[in-house]
Structure 1
Amino acid sequence: MAKKEIEPLNKIFVTDIRGIIEQSRRNAVRSVDFCRVQMYWNIGRRIQVEEQKGKKRADYGSFLLKNLSKELEPEYGSGFSYRQLAFCRKFYTLYPIVNAVRSQLNWTQYRDLIAIDDPDKREYYELETVNNAWTSRELERQIHSQLYERLLMSSDKEKVLAVARKQRIPETPQEVIKDPMVLEFLGLERNPEYYERDLETAIINHLQRFLLELGNGFAFIARQRRILLEDDEFFVDLVLYNRLLRCFVVVEIKTEKVTHQDLGQLQMYVNYFDRVEKLPDERKTIGILLCAEKNDTVVKMTLPEDNETILASEFKLYMPSKERLIAEVKQVREEFERKQEL
């Protein structure tokens, strides 16, 4: 009697099993991370309770942490150094209610958050880390690139926080799209002569990080989208869609200073998508001119006074120093407030 051949496993079945394994591994890592967060929170609570007993001594807190570290560090390692224990104490001080500690965040992320003194700024990064599932590295980058301050340049604090809290949906492109954009993750060499296609290719190769830097709610649609107008061909560098604003977003890349011709070309692309591609229930198309340098007056004079859909945003290929970023944000903010007063 011939031996019956074993049928090959169904590929969908195998894929499902692999998915279960991978998800379980991720859950296990998150569980361990959150146990660590809970441990440090409880340590911080216990430290504060002990400090209350000796609160009459001004230096008791420092004395307590130094001696506790001497007891714990030889046995448990550098995770219980004086500095780490100070973080635990501050962690509990900022999050005294255990229900306020989010299971989606790990200890590295909480350390970055508790280092922020501004409570509104800290809440914004906390919410956006959860909303966008940022990794520790992504959160660190957004803090260092002054994301919160850049968003405040084009919107007020309450609107920015309301979007992060999911209390409102962004209504204008300025609430979502940053200016300037920091694109140091593209890894382009420090060469003053690079081509738009090089920048475009680098963006596509780092698409996920580019969409994250661009703003919330973006999805990739096409690259070099061909438009045929009678016998003339045109190619849009990038076509995206924003699910929060519910509209197409066309991006043109210019590696030199923006001109009025560049803005006119972008306006034509926006008109095309509005008149040909847009569905009746969708909002007007947004155009972003990603440029190495811009003249705000030229942009203002080229576009209609009631323009709400064409944006020129500068990009920086290398992360400026924190001091320079703060100075630039402050300068732009002061100019904006000055115009509001006129």
Structure 2
Amino acid sequence: MELDKSLKVDFLSEIKGIIQQARTNAVRSVDFCRVQMYWTLGKRIFEEEQDGKERADYGAYLLKNLSKELVPEFGSGFSYRQLAFCRQFYKTYPIVNALRSQFNWTQYRLLIQIDNPDKREYYELEAMNNCWTARELERQINSGLYERLLLSNDKEAVLAVARRERIPETPLEIIKDPMVLEFLGLKKEAAYYEKDLEQALITHLQDFLLELGNGFSFVARQKRLLLEDDEFFADLIFYNRLLRCFVVIELLCCVQHKSSYVA
């Protein structure tokens, strides 16, 4: 019996999904094997260093000569700098079972360069909860996301939300102030027209949702609203599932003041 056309399409879509998921899992498995390899290297290097009489001098000597032997055979992935990261990786995450299989080496390399344990934990949790790529994790670190949230919240509240120990109760716990919108790619001008800023935000909607914070979804643009018989057009409307409310954004570009605002 011949399958109808719609069933064939659904079946083909399912088969493609299985293949794509298997490929994703295979890549993730390889990435995590690499993470485990670098952790094991770091552990062994650290242990060898502890046997040196002059640890600081011996450590530098050890890494330099080890790299000299490994690079010709295994490539630049075992340079002096990379081996130093391996050692730092083990010192930062000494329990191998605590490593997250969702993270690749690039993500862990970004995390171990954060000296503050609370700050590092925050980015680790947010990267896991929001499925950040290494590129997005790097952007959030460079934009000072943790510090921006601390401007209006205390450290324990910020970490509790990241740990999913509590649900955000106020907009200040979610919405960042200020926002960093470098991903819009706008040229440096004294000021922008509202329509230009709005279009740039829509074009980069996925990045803007990440910058807004957790729980946001896009609803509409230039939405007609009636307030006490007065007609308004809201530039952008979002819904936040954590706050259970709509968020209306009005873009104000003040040419005379050479500035732009998001209200």
**TM-score range, shorter-chain basis?**
over 0.9
Matched, 1:104 2:102: yes
Q: Deviations over 1:28-51 (max 9, x none)?
A: 111111111011001001111111
Q: What TM-score do the two structures reach when normalised by structure 2?
A: 0.93
Q: Given residue 131 of structure 1, which amino acid in structure 2 is its aligned partner?
A: N
Aligned pair partner of 2:91 in 90, 93, 102: 93
**Percentage identity across paired residues of the two chains:** 71
Q: Deviations over 1:105-127 (max 9, x none)?
A: 11001111101111111111111
Q: Label 1:170 to 1:53 Cα distance change in 2 as closer, same or farther (>3 A).
A: same
Q: Deviations over 1:277-320 (max 9, x none)?
A: xxxxxxxxxxxxxx825xxxxxxxxxxxxxxxxxx76xxxxxxx
Aligned pair partner of 1:25 in 9, 23, 26: 23
Query: Is the 2:39–2:89 contact (alpha carbons within 8 Å) kept by the matching residues of 1?
Result: yes
Helix, strand or coil at the partner of 2:63: helix
Q: Which residue of 2 aligns with 1:140?
A: 138
Q: Which residue of 2 aligns with 1:332?
A: none
Matched, 1:172 2:170: yes
Q: Which residue of 2 aligns with 1:206?
A: 204
Larger Rg, first or second structure (1 or 2): 1
Shift of residue 144 of structure 1? Answer: 0.6
Q: Given residue 292 of structure 1, which amino acid in structure 2 is its aligned partner?
A: S
Q: How does 1:245-324 map to 2 (within 5 A)?
A: 245-256=243-254, 292=260
Shift of residue 55 of structure 1? Answer: 4.3
Structure 2 distance, partners of 1:65, 1:176, is 43
Give the aligned CA root-mean-square deviation in angstroms: 2.1
Q: Which residue of 1 aligns with 2:57?
A: 59
Q: Given residue 99 of structure 1, which amino acid in structure 2 is its aligned partner?
A: N
- Asked which structure has the greater RCO (Cα within 8 Å, sep 6+), the reply is 1
Shift of residue 56 of structure 1? Answer: 4.2
Q: How does 1:150-161 map to 2 (within 5 A)?
A: 150-161=148-159
Structure 1 distance, partners of 2:145, 2:212, is 11
Helix, strand or coil at the partner of 1:89: helix
Structure 2 distance, partners of 1:6, 1:178, is 52
Q: Which range moved further: 123-132 or 19-28?
A: 19-28
Q: Label 1:167 to 1:5 Cα distance change in 2 as closer, same or farther (>3 A).
A: closer
Shift of residue 190 of structure 1? Answer: 2.0
Helix, strand or coil at the partner of 2:72: helix
Q: Which residue of 1 aligns with 2:67?
A: 69
Q: Given residue 92 of structure 1, which amino acid in structure 2 is its aligned partner?
A: Y
Structure 2 distance, partners of 1:46, 1:87, is 13
| Structure 2: gaps of 5 or more residues | none
Q: Which residue of 1 aligns with 2:117?
A: 119
Structure 2 distance, partners of 1:135, 1:142, is 11
Query: Is the 2:67–2:80 contact (alpha carbons within 8 Å) kept by the matching residues of 1?
Result: yes
Shift of residue 193 of structure 1? Answer: 4.1
Helix, strand or coil at the partner of 2:254: strand
Q: Label 1:55 to 1:248 Cα distance change in 2 as closer, same or farther (>3 A).
A: farther
Q: Deviations over 1:163-207 (max 9, x none)?
A: 111111111111111111111111112233421111111111111
Shift of residue 6 of structure 1? Answer: 8.3
Q: Label 1:57 to 1:87 Cα distance change in 2 as closer, same or farther (>3 A).
A: closer
Q: Given residue 137 of structure 2, which amino acid in structure 1 is its aligned partner?
A: L
Shift of residue 53 of structure 1? Answer: 1.3
Aligned pair partner of 1:234 in 232, 235, 241: 232
Q: Which residue of 2 aligns with 1:287?
A: none
Q: Label 1:45 to 1:57 Cα distance change in 2 as closer, same or farther (>3 A).
A: closer
Query: Is the 2:237–2:248 contact (alpha carbons within 8 Å) kept by the matching residues of 1?
Result: yes
Query: Is the 2:191–2:254 contact (alpha carbons within 8 Å) kept by the matching residues of 1?
Result: no
Q: Given residue 84 of structure 1, which amino acid in structure 2 is its aligned partner?
A: Q
Q: Which residue of 1 aligns with 2:161?
A: 163
Structure 1 distance, partners of 2:147, 2:198, is 27
Structure 1 distance, partners of 2:4, 2:220, is 41
Structure 2 distance, partners of 1:7, 1:218, is 39
Structure 2 distance, partners of 1:170, 1:113, is 25
Q: Label 1:157 to 1:57 Cα distance change in 2 as closer, same or farther (>3 A).
A: closer
| Structure 1: gaps of 5 or more residues | 260-290, 294-311, 314-342
Q: Given residue 11 of structure 2, which amino acid in structure 1 is its aligned partner?
A: F
